[in-house]
Amino acid sequence: MLRVIAGLLTPREGRVALGDRTWLDTVAGVDLPPERRRVGYLFQEYALFPHLDVLANVRFGARNGGTVEQLLERFRIAHLARARIGELSGGERQRVALARALATDPGVLLLDEPLSALDAHTKAAVRLELHELLRDLALPTVLVTHDFEDAAALADRVGVVVDGRILQQGTAADLVAMPADPFVASFTGATILEGVARPGPSGLTEVVLDRGGTVWSTDPGAGRVVLAVYPWEVSLSRDLSGDSAVNHVRAPIVTLVPVGNRVRARVGPLVAEVTTASAERLGLAVGEVVVASFKATATRVLPL
């Protein structure tokens, strides 16, 4: 998709326009070459020119020299101006690539997996920086990622693309609240359980899971369905609690993984996310039997 916008790939049919400037219109026979479109393209592996130093890379497509100086300062790479690309760290390379892309004064920014080439350690910091940068630039930006967290952190609108088609688009919060299909639910982080649904008493839907057990949902549904539950909707306790949750699963803890200030526990078919403090208070450990509870309102029933 980014290559089509940039003009590096010509689709059989389609239209690409920025504002009132048409870049591609297969019906009207318009197809501007990449160098006449105004795109700032951040390639996945950055595609920096290895035979040029940092300064020459940034200057390659620059409109004027003053911008180059400012960009080097802004991306904190001025001290690396004479460095070869091979001498740079992953984070530095990305900053050089961004500076190079912005030096052309683009009308749109295309980011191809901007965080995937970085190690986990660098990633969180770069994500924050990138977020601030995108906010300051106020440029239309298309970002491609396989990581919903990246999309949620960086994008105003998220479109889930499968096999070249947009399955669903909306804000990250929309996608989580109302996943349109099992893939979107799983992509946004939900645990997916398959089962058969039928209307139950008091307006609830009863879903008999393939792997055993029954779950109640406030979503309507009938026949074969997928039930989506987000890990942060699942609470853990030692005993069957007297809370308002109607869904309980009693099972041993399979895995226990710390994620930042939370702990992600796999309990039977479910994944629960609880704070580190709660995990310590409950004395969670792999193999211990706990009760995972979640409310009927916290489940989404999606047709399969």
Partner 1 sequence: MAIFLQIPPGDLVSALGSDAATDALRVTAETTAIAMAAILLVGTPAAYWLATRRSRLRDVLVTLVELPLVLPPAVAGIGLLAAFARLGLLGGTFDALGLEIAFTKIAVVFAVVFVASPFYVRTAIAAFEGLDPALPGAARTLGAGPAKVFLRVALPLAAGGLGAGSALAFARAVGEFGATIMFAGSLQGVTQTLSTAIYEQFDADLDVALAIGALLVASSAVTLVSFKLLVRWRSDSRSPTLFAPSPPPSSSR
CB nearer to partner 1: give 48 or 228. 48
Could you please report the per-residue DSSP string of 210-238?
Answer: TTS-EEEESS---EEEEEEE-GGG-EEES
Q: Does 125 bind partner 1 (CB under 8 A)?
A: yes
Q: Does 104 bind partner 1 (CB under 8 A)?
A: yes
How far apart are the C-alpha atoms of 87 and 73, rounded to whole Å? Answer: 19
Q: Does 90 bind partner 1 (CB under 8 A)?
A: yes
Q: Does 24 bind partner 1 (CB under 8 A)?
A: no
Report in angstroms how near the CB of residue 35 gets to partner 1 at its nearest.
5
SS3 291: strand
SS3 5: helix
CB nearer to partner 1: give 48 or 267. 48
Q: Does 41 bind partner 1 (CB under 8 A)?
A: yes
Strand pairing class (108-112; 141-144)? parallel
CB nearer to partner 1: give 110 or 215. 110
Size of the site for partner 1 (CB under 8 A): 39
Q: Does 163 bind partner 1 (CB under 8 A)?
A: no
CB nearer to partner 1: give 108 or 253. 108
Which runs of consecutive H residues, i.e. helices, occur in the chain? 2-6, 54-59, 65-74, 90-102, 120-137, 148-154, 172-177, 182-187, 276-282
Q: Does 119 bind partner 1 (CB under 8 A)?
A: yes
- Residue of 23, 40, 215, 300 interacting with partner 1 (CB under 8 A): 40
- Residue of 21, 65, 73, 89 interacting with partner 1 (CB under 8 A): 89
Q: Does 116 bind partner 1 (CB under 8 A)?
A: no
Q: Does 85 bind partner 1 (CB under 8 A)?
A: yes
Asked whether the beta carbons of 159 and 172 are under 8 A apart, the reply is no
Report in angstroms how near the CB of residue 14 gets to partner 1 at its nearest.
18
Which residue is listed with tokens 């226990």?
Answer: 256
Report in angstroms how near the CB of residue 26 gets to partner 1 at its nearest.
20
Asked whether the beta carbons of 195 and 208 are under 8 A apart, the reply is yes
Could you please report the per-residue DSSP string of 86-118?
Answer: GGS-HHHHHHHHHHHHHTT--SEEEEESTTTTS
Q: Does 99 bind partner 1 (CB under 8 A)?
A: no
- Residue of 19, 50, 164, 287 interacting with partner 1 (CB under 8 A): 50
- H or E, element range at 245: none
- Residue of 10, 14, 35, 214 interacting with partner 1 (CB under 8 A): 35
**224: phi then psi, degrees, rounded to nearest 5:** -70, 125
Q: Does 92 bind partner 1 (CB under 8 A)?
A: yes
Residues numbered 140-159 forming contacts with partner 1, rule: CB under 8 A: none
How far apart are the C-alpha atoms of 177 and 297, rounded to whole Å? Answer: 11
- The contact set with partner 1 (CB under 8 A) reads 3, 6-8, 33-35, 37, 39-41, 43-51, 60-61, 84-86, 89-93, 100-101, 103-104, 118-119, 121-122, 125
